[in-house]
Amino acid sequence: MSIETILGTGLLSAVVAFGTTWLTLRFSREKLRREFQLEFATEAAIRVLLMSEEYKMRSFEKIKRHLPGFKDDDDLRLHLIRGGAVCFMNQESGEELWGLLEKHKGKAFK
Q: How confident is the model over 22-53, as pLDDT tens digits?
A: 999 999 998 888 888 888 888 899 999 999 88
| Cβ-proximal residues to 91 (8 Å cutoff; 6+ apart), any chain | none
Share of the chain above pLDDT 70, in %: 95
Q: Given this model, what pLDDT does residue 69 score?
A: 86
Q: Given this model, what pLDDT does residue 62 score?
A: 93
Entry pTM: 0.65
Average pLDDT, integer, range 75-88: 92
Q: Assess if CATH 3.30.70 describes domain 3-104.
A: no
Which among 84, 48, 86 has a CA at the least distance from the CA of 67? 48
> For the chain, which residues make up each domain, given as ranges?
3-104
Q: Given this model, what pLDDT does residue 107 score?
A: 63
Cβ contacts of 84-88, under 8 Å, gap ≥ 24 = 84/47, 84/50, 85/46, 85/50, 87/60, 88/57
